[in-house]
Structure 1
């Protein structure tokens, strides 16, 4: 049997029958996210999708997920309770509530909530609209032209230390930054790049889409920071707080392979009242097919409002 890629263990969940039907918990210890005060949101999203996927027929795949991050999650075990909201011939919907035991050992804290919808692969594909935005034009640039260490060097210009705390062999995705377009207008900032996971041992739709959900959140919040260098200051020293509030994802291709190169484009459209809105689209590099779209609202607070 092929060796599991790191991302496969990150998104995996296991049933907890002692707590009832449709209850799951993280398979791998969350302590792998060393250096973080709270659990990475991509873990919660991907594991919630894995838990919900375990409650639907095999020919159904997730096509949209709406997530709300309610409280910081700690590195303790997380319990995912799946509620079957609808059961249809072609569409089903699940709600996933992620809970953790309170610090005093009393009640469970609701840390994360998601509504996840699935569609049957058996729906006829004829007589439908079929179009999508094209990928960004990157000229003749290909992933092999970019050093596998380039993403760390780029991010360290914005933050002291590394944004990710993985050992090289545990990195879930290989990111290669291709182009960053920066102007005085933050809404015109564009970050494009390539990404893929290590080869998967499980090529199921459920694993690929859960992994894609994880990838959709990697360093996404940082786009609003990267787009405002004068305000956030060198290595983001003027940032007092940053946290994801909600994350909405649309999966456009159930046949996506996350262990093959994809190209992403990220930008921010608004910053107001302490919240920023960030957008992302991801395409399969070889076919040019749009495979995912997502938006994220994040809380970012500064130490001072004056430019540095």
Structure 2
């Protein structure tokens, strides 16, 4: 198999009856080898400036593969993921579903994503049978904060992805304490997800979008943002998104805020000759290490309708940062809670000073 072929089989033409995100996340079941093996049908998207394929795609395809192996009356309620090794946009990904446990109320699946026989990503998921909690329930949920509605007249950010977003001003942005800030945005899949996709298509789409601007929250609450680096030659992938041709690291689930090199906003002014130049802080590396999703209403939302997300970083230290995310439907229903830890390393001053 040629090393530059991104899928095991030739990608079919996108199905016009489905939303773009459905075509993006389509899987091919490798029945002739093992019914629990799947592979990406379309090339994986590599965000411009990123060192790896978009992590949300691997998360979502692992979920989609696992959902194919459970009865229809079971829904995913938790997903715990680890980014392990480099993932290359030019190499097919093979997903292996392991049937860990099939119980009466709960089912457990583990999925490994492999490239050239090496694990690049692993996740364990738990599914619960509908109605397993009984008729009498304890219920509460965090309320959605009051924020401006998405503006349908404004151009949407998408950057080549099958979803669109509108960011909202950072809450408490003037605070000297990064942990008190909240980054916010509206998200939705482009187009309409087909009825044939069922609730599974909406769940996979939510998992895909959950990785948008996630670990990058750490840089944003510290008022660090990206200095774009030159990109290598790119090619268009099968879904219209750019696909960088160099080898990449899967863990770099990078959006505009997931940085390779950044500066502190208040350090960018030119120093006067009468005072010493201020050495800027730069992020030398930002890499996602793990990703967790708790699904609260797996059949009670549409991923092609606006979803509000709020991110908060409660801690950063020892070269890592922790971010939590809550996701609400537009009508205020809490539909998911997510957590991600990532490697966040600053360039040392000796490295930065040498460039001034």
So what's the TM-score if we normalise by structure 1? 0.85
- Once the two structures are superposed, the pairs formed by residues 209-228 of structure 1 within 5 Å of their partners are 209-228=203-222
Encode CA deviations 1:68-115: one digit per residue, 9 max, x unaligned. 0001211110000000000012210000011101xxxxxx11100100
**8 Å contact kept, 1:146–1:177:** no
Could you say what the CA RMSD is over the residues aligned between the two structures, in angstroms? Answer: 2.4
Q: Which structure shows the bigger proportion of residues in helix conformation?
A: 1
The separation in 1 between residues aligned to 2:97 and 2:286, in whole angstroms, is 29
Partner in structure 2 of residue 161 of structure 1: none
In structure 2, relative to structure 1, the CA distance for the partners of 1:230 and 1:20 (3 Å cut) is closer
> What is the alpha-carbon distance in structure 2 between the residues aligned to residue 48 and residue 97 of structure 1?
8
SS of alignment partner, residue 56 of structure 1:
coil
Q: Does the alignment pair 1:278 with 2:323?
A: yes
Alignment partner for residue 263 of structure 2, among 233, 250, 254?
A: 233
CA shift for structure 1 position 12: 2.0
1:180-217: per-residue Cα shift (whole Å, max 9, x none)?
A: 12121110111122111121124511111111111110
Counterpart residue number, 1:143: 150
Whether the 8 Å CA contact 1:96–1:114 is kept in 2: the answer is yes
Whole-angstrom distance in 2 between the partners of 1:41 and 1:20: 25
Q: 2:70 aligns with which of 56, 69, 80?
A: 56
CA distance in 2, matches of 1:217, 1:59: 27
* Alpha-carbon separation, structure 1, partners of 2:134 and 2:334: 17
More deviation in 75-84 or 177-186?
177-186
- 1:35 CA displacement: 4.8
Q: Matched residues in 1 for 2:194 and 2:224: separation?
A: 44
- Which position in structure 2 is the counterpart of 1:83? 98
In 2, the alpha carbon distance for the partners of 1:200 and 1:58 equals 18
Contact 1:37 1:74 (8 Å CA) reproduced: no
Check the 8 A contact 2:312/2:324 in 1, yes or no: yes
The DSSP-based 3-state class of the residue aligned with 2:155 is coil
In 2: Cα distance, 1:276 partner to 1:178 partner: 22
Deviates more, 1:10-19 or 1:185-194: 10-19
Q: Would you say 1:13 and 2:27 are equivalent positions? A: yes
C-alpha separation in 1, matches of 2:304 and 2:95: 26
Equivalent residue for 1:180, pick from 139, 163, 170: 170
Summarize the alignment of residues 1-308 of structure 1 with structure 2, pairs less than 5 Å apart.
Answer: 3-30=17-44, 33=47, 35-75=49-89, 76-101=91-116, 108-123=117-132, 125-138=134-147, 141-144=148-151, 147-149=154-156, 165-166=159-160, 171-181=161-171, 182=173, 183-198=175-190, 199-202=192-195, 203-229=197-223, 232-234=262-264, 238-255=282-299, 256-286=301-331, 288-304=332-348
How far the C-alpha of 1:34 sits from its partner, in A, is 5.4
Asked if the contact 1:17–1:23 (Cα under 8 Å) also holds between the matched residues in 2, the reply is yes
Give 1:125 shift: 4.7
Alignment length, in residue pairs? 282
Shift of 1:18: 3.3
* 1:19 Cα deviation from its structure 2 partner: 2.9
Please, what TM-score do these two structures have when normalized by structure 2?
A: 0.74
Equivalent residue of 1:18, what SS?
Answer: coil
Structure 1, gaps ≥5 residues long: 102-107, 152-163
SS at match of 2:98: strand
The unaligned stretches of length 5 or more in structure 2 are 1-14, 226-261, 266-279
Q: Greater CA radius of gyration, 1 or 2?
A: 2
Using the TM superposition, give the Cα deviation of residue 179 of structure 1 relative to its aligned residue in structure 2, in angstroms: 2.7
Q: Tell me the alpha carbon deviations over residues 112-141 of structure 1, each in whole angstroms, 9 at most, x when there is no partner.
A: 010011112243652111110000122xx2
Shift of the alpha carbon at 1:165? 4.4
